[in-house]
């Protein structure tokens, strides 16, 4: 017997995973998206289940490095001049989240959430039959200066405190694992339990196909306005049509802020624009994910080729892409892999929905008990999607999630 119906706004991986948790518990589900499954950031991410990450982006020592980066308009972190005033309130909140006490709280919450991420994905892979789209080759974090290598050891120690395996390696051992690397590398670490998917878009579409087989409906439409009522919420689309939703989950990533504001929740969400290029024939062998933390990007081996991507650009949703950022990443990647070829590469830019304390919003709306939020996952949307779906399903059922939901509440702002 159905427990009722839930409408999910957003067909990215967070919305899809939430729909999967709900349908398994007996709810009827409709997924609404302005384009369809995996049309946004869920198709262009680095394909990592980065459950081993425990540190929030905000940290006491980050500002010194961040200001250096921002002096380079093509560096790992940049702010488009046309967006500087708009991003200022977010930056001030980010600074506030960087004090040691706040960082300690965010680290604990992030470690708890990511600690549940892989088990949640293991269950979802089994249920949806997508377990064959997963690799367990680990991740190499590499450095080209002794100073940056030494600065990373504190973070590795913190990961070990949470039971995460981190194996520091010298340059010779690293090149044994990745023979095509240049001599530029001075050292790094292997995180052996890191997990990667073959192709994020294919995974999303496979989950969507499974959802369809379970009776989940997919509709295309852009939400313009929400009108809560005593029966749930009327969802008014841009074309003027209205959908009556008994329960509603807002999981539309970077576009969630406006909808939450209509409900009275002023969430400090902004967009970290990420860039990448996927090269079908890169001319080099990359055996596992390579993380170049000091340069703000990764190299990720997908079934479609090698993806070189990352970095952060604050520029909102409307400014045109700055494709020179892709060129800058490629130039740096070739310092590490001198034989890397980029011919035939497909460029992409997408929007990461980011909140200053690095914690997503996973909670009911503060004023409307039949509306729920699942957005703001920034760099961890793929990682945290399955566990987010479980938590939202618990909340809709009136059960307390296994992971403490308080740090992720919309009411914290």
- CA distances to 107, 135, 162 from 166, in Å: 17, 18, 11
List, for residues 171-181, the tens digit of each pLDDT value. 999 999 999 99
Question: So what's the pLDDT on residue 75?
Answer: 75
Kindly state whether residues 254 and 273 are assigned to the same domain: no
Kindly state whether residues 317 and 395 are assigned to the same domain: no
pLDDT tops 80 at residue 24? yes
Could you tell me the pLDDT band of residue 345, with boundaries at 50, 70 and 90? very high
Kindly state whether residues 262 and 282 are assigned to the same domain: no
The strand pair at 371-375 and 247-250 is best described as: parallel
388 inside domain: yes
| Count of CB atoms situated within 10 Å of the CB of 95 | 13
221 inside domain: yes
Could you give the number of structural domains in the chain? Answer: 2
| Structure-model confidence comparison of residues 371 and 64, the more confident one | 371
C-alpha 395: how far from chain center:
22
Question: So what's the pLDDT on residue 244?
Answer: 96
pLDDT tops 70 at residue 157? yes
Question: Cα dihedral sign for 241, 389, 350, 83?
Answer: positive
Q: What is the CATH number of the domain that holds 38?
A: 3.50.50.60
127 inside domain: no
Kindly state whether residues 325 and 207 are assigned to the same domain: no
Could you tell me the pLDDT band of residue 293, with boundaries at 50, 70 and 90? confident
What value does the mean pLDDT take over residues 137-141? 96
DSSP string, 257-271: HHHHHHTT-----EE
169 inside domain: yes
pLDDT tops 70 at residue 165? yes
Which of 331, 354, 377 is a domain's end point? 354
What value does the mean pLDDT take over residues 398-406? 96
pLDDT tops 80 at residue 63? no
* Residues 366, 152: Cα–Cα separation, whole Å: 39
Q: Contact 345/278 with Cβ under 8 angstroms?
A: yes
Kindly state whether residues 180 and 146 are assigned to the same domain: yes
pLDDT over 70, % of the chain: 96
Kindly state whether residues 60 and 74 are assigned to the same domain: yes
The strand pair at 242-245 and 139-143 is best described as: unpaired
Kindly state whether residues 12 and 142 are assigned to the same domain: no
* Residues 253, 351: Cα–Cα separation, whole Å: 8
124 inside domain: no
Q: Using alpha carbons only, how large is the chain's radius of gyration in Å? A: 21
Question: So what's the pLDDT on residue 370?
Answer: 96
Could you tell me the pLDDT band of residue 59, with boundaries at 50, 70 and 90? confident
Kindly state whether residues 82 and 160 are assigned to the same domain: yes
pLDDT tops 70 at residue 78? yes
Domain range enclosing 11: 5-43+202-266+358-412
Which of 334, 354, 374 is a domain's end point? 354
* Residues 346, 309: Cα–Cα separation, whole Å: 11
Question: So what's the pLDDT on residue 301?
Answer: 96
Kindly state whether residues 254 and 369 are assigned to the same domain: yes
Question: So what's the pLDDT on residue 67?
Answer: 63
Kindly state whether residues 89 and 184 are assigned to the same domain: yes
| Mean pLDDT, the chain, whole residue set | 94
Kindly state whether residues 339 and 368 are assigned to the same domain: no
What value does the mean pLDDT take over residues 216-220? 97
Could you tell me the pLDDT band of residue 76, with boundaries at 50, 70 and 90? confident
Question: So what's the pLDDT on residue 40?
Answer: 87
* Residues 412, 108: Cα–Cα separation, whole Å: 16
What value does the mean pLDDT take over residues 286-315? 94
Question: So what's the pLDDT on residue 68?
Answer: 67
Kindly state whether residues 283 and 246 are assigned to the same domain: no
Which of 336, 354, 372 is a domain's end point? 354
List, for residues 225-248, the tens digit of each pLDDT value. 999 999 999 999 999 999 999 999
Q: What is the CATH number of the domain that holds 337?
A: 3.30.9.10
125 inside domain: no
Question: So what's the pLDDT on residue 276?
Answer: 96
Could you tell me the pLDDT band of residue 330, with boundaries at 50, 70 and 90? very high
* Residues 366, 43: Cα–Cα separation, whole Å: 31
Q: In 3D, which of 135, 117, 138 has the Cα closest to residue 289?
A: 138
Question: So what's the pLDDT on residue 57?
Answer: 86
| Three-class DSSP category at 346 | strand
225 inside domain: yes
115 inside domain: no
């Amino acid at each position: 017997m159905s427990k009722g119906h839930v409408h999910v706004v957003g067909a990215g991986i967070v919305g899809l995973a939430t729909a999967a948790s709900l349908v398994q518990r007996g709810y009827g589900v409709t997924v609404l998206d302005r384009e369809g499954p995996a049309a946004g950031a869920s198709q262009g991410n680095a394909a990592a289940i980065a459950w081993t990450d425990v540190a929030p982006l905000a940290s006491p020592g980050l500002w010194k490095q961040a200001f250096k980066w921002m002096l380079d308009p093509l560096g790992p972190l940049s702010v488009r001049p046309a967006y500087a005033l708009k991003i200022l309130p977010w930056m001030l909140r980010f600074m506030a989240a960087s004090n040691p006490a706040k960082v300690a709280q965010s680290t604990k919450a992030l470690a708890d959430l990511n600690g549940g991420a892989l088990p949640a994905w293991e269950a979802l892979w089994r249920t949806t039959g997508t377990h064959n789209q997963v690799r367990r080759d680990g991740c190499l974090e590499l450095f080209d200066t002794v100073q940056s290598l030494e600065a990373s050891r504190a973070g590795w120690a913190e990961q070990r405190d949470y039971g995460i395996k981190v194996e520091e390696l010298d340059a010779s051992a690293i090149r044994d694992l990745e023979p095509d690397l240049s001599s530029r590398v001075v050292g790094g670490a292997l995180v052996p339990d890191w997990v990667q998917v073959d192709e994020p878009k294919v995974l999303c579409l496979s989950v969507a196909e499974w959802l369809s087989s379970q009776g989940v409906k997919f509709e295309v439409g852009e939400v313009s306005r929400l009108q809560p009522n005593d029966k749930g919420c009327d969802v008014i689309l841009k074309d003027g049509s209205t959908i009556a939703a008994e329960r509603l989950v807002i999981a539309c990533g970077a576009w969630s802020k406006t909808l939450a504001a209509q409900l009275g929740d002023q969430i400090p969400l902004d967009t970290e624009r990420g860039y990448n290029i996927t090269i079908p024939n890169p001319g080099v062998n990359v055996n596992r994910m390579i993380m170049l933390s000091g340069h703000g990007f990764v190299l990720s081996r997908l079934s479609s080729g090698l993806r070189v991507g990352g970095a952060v650009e604050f520029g909102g949703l409307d400014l045109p892409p700055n494709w020179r950022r892709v060129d800058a990443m490629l130039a740096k990647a070739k310092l590490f892999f001198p034989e890397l070829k980029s011919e035939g590469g497909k460029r992409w830019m997408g929007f990461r929905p980011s909140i200053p304390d690095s914690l997503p919003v996973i909670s009911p709306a503060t004023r409307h008990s039949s509306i729920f939020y699942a957005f703001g996952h920034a760099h961890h949307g793929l990682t945290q999607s399955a566990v987010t779906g479980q938590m939202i399903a618990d909340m809709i059922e009136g059960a307390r999630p296994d992971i403490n939901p308080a740090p992720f509440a919309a009411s914290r702002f």
